[in-house]
Amino acid sequence: MLGLALGCALPGVPPVARAQSAPAAATSAPEPASAPRVRIVAVRGVSWRGHEARVNLVLRVQNPGAWKLALNDIRFRCSFNGTATATGHSTAELDLPAHGQADVPVSVDIDGQALLAVLATLPPDGTVHYVLDGGAEIGDTLLRVPFHQQGSVVVQ
């Protein structure tokens, strides 16, 4: 009955052809934007300032989505080997193409005693396990997308 009604609405076009064209339009919708993936890829150095230390890290920020992602601010908390907590942020603008990535240098401040505890238990290969929790601001929108990442990195 529906095919007959469609046939009347569009003479000369078979009802099956019209029924198949509607789903094709629905499946061509763009893929939604995805939250960035952030991980530590390098520890580049430690400097001491009284009871605090500043650790220079390199973050790899990946855009798993199909749309360009403009990030203005990345803020995070980092735990090393489950004991040391650091906070850091990068305010440099970062434009990531769809499915692209970039390395971002950041400095984090960490309590000196906590860092010494991590260094004292460092295995011979220098591997440190970390947990990153934070968010990235998308463009000038003040919208933040959260991220959470666990991994390990070798301290050089």
The structure tokens listed for 83 are 């004991």
What pLDDT does residue 79 have? 92
Share of the chain above pLDDT 70, in %: 78
Output the average pLDDT for the chain: 79
What pLDDT does residue 33 have? 57
pLDDT category of residue 127 using cuts at 50, 70 and 90: very high
Same domain, 45 and 4: no
Sequence-separated (6 or more) residues with CB below 8 Å from residue 15: 2, 3, 4, 6, 7
Same domain, 112 and 84: yes
Per the structure, the count of domains in the chain is 2
Same domain, 105 and 121: yes
More confident residue, 59 or 5: 59
Least trusted range by pLDDT, from 25-29, 59-63, 130-134: 25-29
Q: How many other C-beta atoms can be found within 10 angstroms of the C-beta atom of residue 121?
A: 10
More confident residue, 21 or 138: 138
Same domain, 18 and 69: no
CATH code: domain of residue 82: 2.60.40
CA distance 55 to 102: 20
Q: What is the mean pLDDT of residues 42-54?
A: 91
CA distance 114 to 111: 5
Same domain, 13 and 45: no
- pLDDT (tens digit per residue) in 128-151: 999 999 998 888 888 888 999 999
Same domain, 136 and 93: yes
Same domain, 111 and 67: yes
Tell me which residue range forms the domain holding 12.
1-30
The structure tokens listed for 150 are 């666990």
- pLDDT (tens digit per residue) in 63-97: 998 988 888 889 999 999 988 688 998 878 899 99
